[in-house]
Structure 1
Amino acid sequence: MMKLFAAVLLMAAVVNSQMTCRLKQHGIPNEWVGLRDTTGKCLQEMRNQVQMEINASNIYLAMAAHFSRDLINRPGFAEHFFKSAREEREHGRKLIEYLSMRGQLTKDVTELIQLIDVDVKIDSGVDALRQALELETKVTQSIRSLIKTCEKSSPSWYHLSDWLITEYLEEQLTGERDLAGKLSTLTKMMDSQGAIAEFLFDKQL
């Protein structure tokens, strides 16, 4: 599983390095491009958020691969993190589509996604849930920072701020609460039932 994951990342890196448009540009009017920022901070943070979502997806994919191993064999945890990986990748896709809608993907897009090494070490189901909650908290904080930056930009990117609040914040907050609940439940089960608790919790997942 991990070898397949590494192969996919390598293939993506090769494709990513070739994503430069070499066609002649034909003077298409650009007055419709609405994301104009004198400081450029909002746009840069938006691009950073794309990267963060993709990184989170890769981390969850590595977690899912860990729990899929025959020596671990926790299919409930594996499916949970496979689903999380899909959701984070979808978040990244939506951000890219928004940038495209607002005319910010007319040049080289290679810098949008930079592949990084994923170093995931998991001791237990409790540890995995704790790491996931910490990761989601960082993503939420980053989105809040992005919203604040874009609201203060000149001119204010009010549509982007509203879109981020509507599309992302509620889902992030709900996801954090769900992870916190799962972590609390599993921790209490481990305290009262010992090692068998993770097996039983996996079945619930």
Structure 2
Amino acid sequence: MNSLAKQNFTTLAEDGINSQIQIEQTASQVYLAAAAYFARDNVALPGLERFFREQAHENQESAQYLIDYQNTRGGRVEIKQIPEPNTEWTSAMNAIESSLSLEKDVNKASLNLTTLAIDQADPHFFHILKKHSLKHRVQSIEELAKAITQMQRAGGDGLGLYLVDQDIWKHGHFSVGRLGLGGED
């Protein structure tokens, strides 16, 4: 049965949104696994645990936003199976580098979805994507890139890692990634 709300909303757009939902949910699971890793007693980095838990929450919120949007436009949401995430990292630096790669993948998928919205001549869909995810993704990539630089300077382990972790715990994010964005610190 077709939705009465559906207007100028193609099957390609629906499929693209369903794909992006899966990507967001996969990223959320990866970040949740990283949070659990950093919460372990033999890792014990509460700042990184908090950071990754918040990243998981943000990606889950993005997935829910797309689910709600799909329903608003009269599309059909298809929740697909999520691959099992990695649960081990060789170091905090490895986890941050993996996160940067993941954010770039999610951003690329968001950009592809934006291109699809343009190609399908769907200005509402384009506006929603531009407003909701594109700016946030670029900022996340910048924050993680700066976090890698900060961790390299701190030595990536030992006391340097502890100090970086305490700063994350205090601010809720890598503070270097937020400087100059309107004085959020």
Q: Which amino acid aligns with 2:103?
A: E
Runs of 4+ in 1 over 6 A off after TM superposition: none
Shift of 1:115: 2.8
CA RMSD of aligned residues (A): 1.7
For the 8 Å contact 1:54–1:113, the answer to whether it is kept is: no
Unaligned runs of 5+ in 2: 169-185
Aligned to 2:150: 185
Residues 81-132 of structure 1: CA deviation (Å, up to 9, x unaligned): 0000000000000000000111113xxx4x3232321124311111111111
Query: For residues 124 and 34 of structure 1, what CA distance do their matches in structure 2 show?
Result: 49
| CA contact 1:35–1:104 (8 Å) conserved in 2 | no
Task: Output the TM-score relative to the length of structure 1.
Answer: 0.77
Structure ID, larger Rg: 1
User: How high is the sequence identity, in percent, across the aligned residues?
Assistant: 24
Whole-angstrom distance in 1 between the partners of 2:3 and 2:84: 40
1:46 Cα deviation from its structure 2 partner: 1.1
2:172 maps to what in 1? none
Tell me whether 1:116 sits opposite 2:87 in the alignment: no
After superposition, residues 1-205 of structure 1 pair within 5 angstroms as 30=4, 32-37=5-10, 40-105=11-76, 109=77, 111-153=78-120, 156-190=121-155, 195-205=158-168
Contact 2:26 2:83 (C-alpha < 8 Å) held by counterparts: yes
User: How far, CA to CA, are the matches of 2:3 and 2:135 in structure 1?
Assistant: 36
Q: Which residue of 1 aligns with 2:182?
A: none
Q: Distance in 1 between matches of 2:9 and 2:127?
A: 17
What 5-or-longer segments of structure 1 have no aligned partner? 1-24
Residues 3 and 74, structure 2, Cα contact 8 Å, conserved in 1: no
Structure 1 stretch 116-125 or stretch 46-55: which is displaced more? Answer: 116-125
Instruction: Indicate how the Cα distance of structure 1 residues 50 and 189 shifts in structure 2: closer, same or farther if over 3 A, else same.
Output: same
Question: Would you say how many aligned residue pairs link Structure 1 and Structure 2?
Answer: 168
CA distance in 2, matches of 1:170, 1:46: 18
- 1:29 positional shift: 7.1
Cα offsets for 1:151-179 (capped at 9, x unmatched): 112xx111101110111101111111111
